[in-house]
Chains A and B, each alone.
Chain A
């Protein structure tokens, strides 16, 4: 047997099974929509690739460092401890009640904030791959989401430690956070797909989004409790971040979530998904030109 010959036994790659590639001019919305559905389907079928890419991102970021991704845990932990005592003093509240709240809020917000920031560069950063091989675009969006979930996983340690130190366990009530987390997953993916393509087309979006997120951090009850707003509490439901945060945070603090909060969170998510999908259907074929 000749050693230079390529092996014949390798199975055909997945991409070869749908091996007809066809493009025409002036596609109707329905045809574009079909292509977008196909992109999403193929992207989700490659979920192992998205996970591997996300995991490699984390490993490469911390390659050669001793603690590795646990630097994230450490820095979040130190920040929560410092801010916890500082704000407890400033707000004149009991650190034992405040710290578990802050640890949870801070870690959850860090996920949202970083996801939004990184969503903006989802496709732009992948220019090398996008221009050298045909890939479902949704793979890259899934990679950004999975990477941030991995970071969240490392930060959860901080929450667990703080809850253990202050012995505040939400008990079985905490499972009510699961539907909220599932909604977060959907919102994360559609937000990443929307911001990723928007930022590839309009380079001004990323800085705008980043400054908006900074404002959102202060107007959303992350470091302060909703009750502290007093008479102005009625304004909170208008902030989509508040509703999304609350559906996950409240059950984990052993608190009750108002049905209206869930309704607003669902309504906002549905609207986001529709907008994101409409844009994706239009943008998908053009992304290679934009990045």
Chain B
């Protein structure tokens, strides 16, 4: 009984309370006041608003690209969709199994070897013990780590970590894949392979939400783009339409 994947969010705002560190440091206060994103919530705590009144609906087969400058709220939005940040304003409804590729380390422990990380990841996803050897075989084959599988992840090159992470994440075939841009930083040969594996996944009528600065990746993979600006949705529509607006404003490619 596999339900159809869908994402529906409306009026979502996410604010980070600043409890620790130098919340009241003069430098930070001035810097944030300058960008107009400093406010105070009902308890008069200092908060930084990362998302404001964000809403959209995604259904089976959608490939959404998120663009925007650094700090526009792309990663926060991905984390909200992944259920990591529970918003206190607005509503979120995500149906289907979700995998979020947000962090280079992916909860990987760099002191453990590749094999142990694979097993741990399997346990994190609640796989039964009987499925673990198969997971290990699949990941080892795809990531092409060879003998490195028995070395601590600490010894891996950045590319190897990405390959391992990608292989792990895609081995589990989520219905909804949330991906941050760092993830496509593998070498060219791997990118080709990754693309194939991911396209396979998206072709299986799942949902992809991708955040990136690379217009090429957006053009290749996404059918819809949302432009986030300081936590607000600035534009939402078909890829070329939104990219044209975005590029006209930011003047970058």
Contact A290 B84 (CB under 8 A): no
Identify which of residues 89-147 in chain B touch chain A, using a CB-to-CB cut-off of 8 Å. 89-98, 100, 102-103, 105-107, 109, 111-112, 116, 119-120, 123-129, 131, 134-135, 138, 141-142
Contact B92 A23 (CB under 8 A): yes
Which residues in B have their C-beta under 8 angstroms from that of A202?
Answer: 19
Q: From residue B64, how far is it (CB to closest CB) to chain A in Å?
A: 17
Which residues in B have their C-beta under 8 angstroms from that of A21?
Answer: 83, 92-95, 98
Neighbour of B125 across the interface among A15, A52, A56, A285, CB < 8 A? A15
Query: Which A residue sits closest to B152, measured CB to CB?
Result: A63
Contact A22 B86 (CB under 8 A): no
Contact B79 A131 (CB under 8 A): yes
Contact B127 A11 (CB under 8 A): yes
Contact A12 B97 (CB under 8 A): yes
Which stretch in A1-9, A146-154, A162-170, A260-268 binds the other chain? A1-9
Contact A132 B102 (CB under 8 A): yes
Identify which of residues 41-91 in chain A touch chain B, using a CB-to-CB cut-off of 8 Å. 45-46, 48-49, 52-53, 56, 60, 63
A20-B94, A288-B86, A289-B17 given as contacts; is B196 within 8 A of A60 (CB)? no
Identify which of residues 56-94 in chain B touch chain A, using a CB-to-CB cut-off of 8 Å. 79, 82-94
Interface size class of B (residues with CB under 8 A): 35 or more
Which of B79, B86, B87, B105 is packed against the most chain A CB atoms within 10 Å? B86
Neighbour of A60 across the interface among B82, B100, B111, B127, CB < 8 A? B111
Decide yes or no whether A134 CB sits under 8 A from chain B: yes
Decide yes or no whether A215 CB sits under 8 A from chain B: no
Q: Contact mask B165-193 → A, CB, 8 Å, 1/0?
A: 00000111111000000000000000001
Contact B86 A285 (CB under 8 A): yes
Decide yes or no whether B241 CB sits under 8 A from chain A: no
Contact A56 B84 (CB under 8 A): no
Contact B131 A56 (CB under 8 A): no
Neighbour of B173 across the interface among A10, A49, A288, A290, CB < 8 A? A10
Which residues in A have their C-beta under 8 angstroms from that of B173?
Answer: 6, 8, 10
Decide yes or no whether A128 CB sits under 8 A from chain B: yes
Decide yes or no whether B49 CB sits under 8 A from chain A: no
Residues of B within 8 A of A (CB): 3, 16-17, 19-20, 79, 82-98, 100, 102-103, 105-107, 109, 111-112, 116, 119-120, 123-129, 131, 134-135, 138, 141-142, 170-175, 193, 196-197, 200-201
Decide yes or no whether A135 CB sits under 8 A from chain B: yes
Contact B193 A56 (CB under 8 A): no
CA distance A288 to B138 in the complex (A): 32
Q: From residue A57, how far is it (CB to closest CB) to chain B in Å?
A: 10
CA distance A77 to B193 in the complex (A): 55
CA distance A24 to B90 in the complex (A): 6
Decide yes or no whether A13 CB sits under 8 A from chain B: yes
CA distance A173 to B175 in the complex (A): 56
CA distance A130 to B106 in the complex (A): 10
Contact B17 A129 (CB under 8 A): no
Q: Contact mask A267-291 → B, CB, 8 Å, 1/0?
A: 0000000000000000001101110
